[in-house]
Structure 1
Amino acid sequence: MIPTSDQALANAARLLERAEIELTNLPLMSQYDDLARSWLTLASLLADRERV
């Protein structure tokens, strides 16, 4: 099932919250940030598709 743009944004927000917790573990923090960035990109693409 394809997520909605709101669901993708919620996933990104959760990942960014996890990244904030990992301030002392920079590699893990970076991975969370990269995953969140992917969800934000997907959210943008889905929002564009939902507008059509």
Structure 2
Amino acid sequence: MMPTVEQALTNAARLLEQAEIETNLALMERLDELASSWLGMAQLLMERERA
């Protein structure tokens, strides 16, 4: 099932919040990358809704 824009943004925000408090640099970077993926998904979903 495809996530909604709201779900994608919520996931991105949650991951970024975790990255902010993470002390392990490698994990912090991975969380940031995952958040970026969710933001990209949200953007694609918004573009699809406009079409």
Q: Please report the TM-score for the alignment, with normalisation by the length of structure 1.
A: 0.93
* 1:7-22 pair list within 5 angstroms: 7-22=7-22
2:45 counterpart residue number: 46
1:5 counterpart residue number: 5
Paired residue type of 2:19: A
Paired residue type of 2:44: L
Query: What percentage of residue pairs aligned between the two structures are identical?
Result: 67
Q: Which runs of 5+ in 1 are unaligned?
A: none
RMSD: 0.6
- How far the C-alpha of 1:6 sits from its partner, in A, is 1.1
Q: Deviations over 1:14-38 (max 9, x none)?
A: 000000110x210000000000000
Q: Please report the TM-score for the alignment, with normalisation by the length of structure 2.
A: 0.94
- How far the C-alpha of 1:51 sits from its partner, in A, is 1.4
